[in-house]
Structures are given as C-alpha cells and as structure tokens.
Amino acid sequence: PPTRELVVQIATDAADLTKYTGLNVMTFVGGMDFDKQLKHLEARHCDILVATPGRLLDFNQRGDVHLDMVEVMVLDEADRMLDMGFIPQVRQIIRQTPPKTERQTLLFSATFTEDVMNLAKQWTTDPSIVEIEALNVASENVEQHIYAVAGADKYKLLYNLVNDNGWERVMVFANRKDEVRRIEERLVRDGVNAAQLSGDVPQHKRIKTLEGFREGKIRVLVATDVAGRGIHIDGISHVINFTLPEVPDDYVHRIGRTGRAGAAGVSISFAGEDDSYQLPSIEALLGRKISCETPPTHLLRAVERKRP
C-alpha cells in the first residue's frame, strides 16, 4: 500500500484473520524505528509482509529482505501509487521477485484507468478481472447535502454545525495540508477536541490520532485525501467537505467514510466561490444532481471564543 496508515490497518486485519494459523505478519514503514523493524525481521520467519514501497526497498537494498522467495504479491491502491509517484519504486521491487508466471499477483485499485490496466498487463499473466459494483451504490446510505457558502464563512459554519448538533465523530476533508492544519488549529483554539491527519504529521502521531478517533476521544478528525483514503472507522456520523475535491472520485471516497456497514450517514459539502465549479463533474460521476442549499442564518453566526 502507498501510505503508512494503510500498512498499519492492513497488518491489523491480517493479524486478526491469521489469529489461529501461526502465520507471522510484519510491517515495514518509513518514519518508524528502522532497527526495531530489523530486529523483528531477524527474530522470526515472516509469512506476510505489509510495507510501503520506499521502506521495503531500503531493506532490500541492504540485503535484509529476500524478495526472490515471494509467492504472492499484492499491490493495494494501484491508482494511488501512480498518483503519488511510487511506480518506479514498485518496479524495482517487482524485479526482485520471481517471474510473473511463478508468483501470484493481485492488484487492487479504486479506479481502473488506462495506466492502471497497463501496469496490470505488465505484472500479471492472463489475469481475471473482478469488478465490484459501482462506487455510488455504496453511497446510498449517505444523505448528501451541499451548502452554498462564502469561503470566509466556511469555518463558522463548520464550528456551529458540530457544536449546535453535539456531533461526536466527524471527519472533515480539505484539499491541502495547510488548510487541514489551519482548520484543526482553529477548532482546538475554540474548544473542540480535534486532530489532524496529513502527510505533515509524524507517523507515530498519526497512529495515535486514529486510535483516539476510533475510541471517541477525538471528536473531529481533519484530513487530506491521501491521509483519509481507505480509513475504516465505524460510527463516523458525518463527513464534511470543507473544500470540494478536485478529483470527483475523491468525493465518493470521502463520503464513503460514513454510512458504513448498513448504518446511515450524512455528508455535508461546502461549495464556495473557489470550488463550486467542481460540482458538475461530481454530479456526473454520481449520475444525479445534488441541490444546493443556503445554510440557515444561525449556523453562520460568529464563533464565541471559549475562555480557557
């Protein structure tokens, strides 16, 4: 997988699934203690290795991992790997594994673009293609709203929505890391228990943040698309798009954080003067219109500073 969070999540799931088998699951991720990971590797036989491409290459180049023993190779989030520029590293890794006729290769991707299909052709032999029902089916459990709101009023609207309704587990998405940081800092300053998830946050802190959110200690999690992609946490009641994403697929991924496993969820998107032009392409992907609403005036009132 491309990100550290996904490595941790997949490894946790793998450990649960292999609980009674005696198989060993190990993880390699950047930003964590190299020697500690090496000790784990030396201490016992490894059956399932979950890793980000860069860190796996580090271990391989030092001669600590022997990829010629690989029987099954799984590439998760192939489209994301392409977007994030990991493919050259993945190529290097694949060259070290047995030929494609002598290993099983599984490639997972949310979108099967021409580029992803080209990779699949290079790395697999006579593959079966399994498509799961279109993504927008998954969002039928999610009630979608769009508020037309000036950029300057977005923060007030967010704060009042969360506070007035007493929401306990909310995920807020913004397009850029600096936006995520600014939103989180303002929420914390105004007395809301919030945390941020982006590439700027050190790895150990991101894992702690996810645990805090999962346990309900953190009310609002503010994230970028890369950090929020694929995160599965039950009981997220609301997803708020502070800025509409530039890629329509990301909209579907964002709102899919709520309304999981048959539960009902709500997504609220703020369409301002800078991002409302993204709406038509999002609606085209969903195959339907979402009507724009004007937020009730009381939700745009000034934020009352909470004195510490």
For 53-65, how does the pLDDT look when each residue is reduced to its tens digit (9 = 90+)?
988 888 888 888 8
Tens of pLDDT, residue by residue over 71-92, are: 999 999 998 888 888 999 999 9
pLDDT band at 133 (very low <50, low <70, confident <90, very high): low
Give tens-digit pLDDT for 185-219: 999 999 999 999 988 888 788 889 999 999 999 99
Q: Whole-angstrom Cα distance, residue 68 to residue 229?
A: 31
Both structure tokens of 180: 């995520």
Q: What is the structure's pLDDT at 100?
A: 93
Average confidence score pLDDT of the chain: 88
- Tell how strand 170-173 and strand 220-223 pair up: parallel
Nearest Cα neighbor of 29 from 48, 46, 7, 13 is 7
What pLDDT is attached to residue 30? 74
The CATH topology of domain 4-123 is Rossmann fold (3.40.50)
Residues 294-303: pLDDT tens digits?
999 999 999 8
Cβ neighbors of 304 (< 8 A, separation 6 or more) are none
Checking if the pLDDT of 175 tops 90, the result is: yes
pLDDT at 74: 96
CA angle, residues 8, 10, 14, in degrees to nearest 5: 115
Q: Where in the chain is the domain with CATH 3.40.50.300?
A: 4-123, 137-300
Model pLDDT, residue 109: 87
CA–CA dist 156, 99 (Å, integer): 57
Q: Is 167 exposed, middle or buried (0-12, 13-18, 19+ CB in 10 A)?
A: middle
pLDDT band with cut points at 50, 70 and 90 for residue 138: very low
Q: For residue 38, is pLDDT > 70?
A: no
Partner residues linked to 72 by β-bridges: 104
DSSP alpha helix (H) spans, the chain: 4-17, 34-43, 53-61, 78-83, 87-96, 114-123, 135-138, 154-165, 177-189, 203-214, 225-228, 248-255, 279-286
| Distance set, CA 27 to CA 14, 76, 84, 126, 306 (Å) | 11, 14, 20, 30, 42
In whole angstroms, give the CA distance from residue 183 to residue 159: 10
Which has the minimum average pLDDT: 73-82, 138-147, 174-183?
Answer: 138-147
Kindly tell me if the per-residue pLDDT of 31 is higher than 80.
no
Q: How far apart are CA 21 and CA 91, in angstroms?
A: 31
Length of the chain: 308
CATH class in words for 137-300: alpha beta
Q: Which residues contact 147 (CB under 8 A, 6 or more apart)?
A: 157, 268, 269, 270, 271, 292, 293, 294, 295
Q: Which residue has the tokens 């079966």?
A: 128
Instruction: Indicate if the pLDDT at residue 45 is higher than 70.
Output: yes
Residue 42 has pLDDT above 70, yes or no: no
Please give the single-letter amino acid code of residue 176. R
**Greater confidence, 16 or 230?**
16
Is the pLDDT reported for residue 277 higher than 70?
Answer: yes
Where residue 51 falls (left for φ over 0; alpha for ψ -120 to 50; beta otherwise) is beta
Higher local confidence (pLDDT), 209 or 66: 209
pLDDT at 253: 87
* pLDDT reported for residue 156: 96
| pLDDT for res 134 | 54
Q: Are strands 72-75 and 48-51 parallel, antiparallel or unpaired?
A: unpaired
Per residue in 225-258, pLDDT (tens digit) is 888 877 788 889 999 999 999 988 899 889 988 8
pLDDT, position 137: 46
SS3 88: helix
pTM of the model: 0.61
pLDDT given for residue 95 in this prediction: 93
**Residue 26 phi, psi dihedral angles, 5° rounding:** -130, 155
Residues 110-130, mean pLDDT to the nearest whole number: 89
User: What is the rounded average pLDDT of the residues 144-150?
Assistant: 95
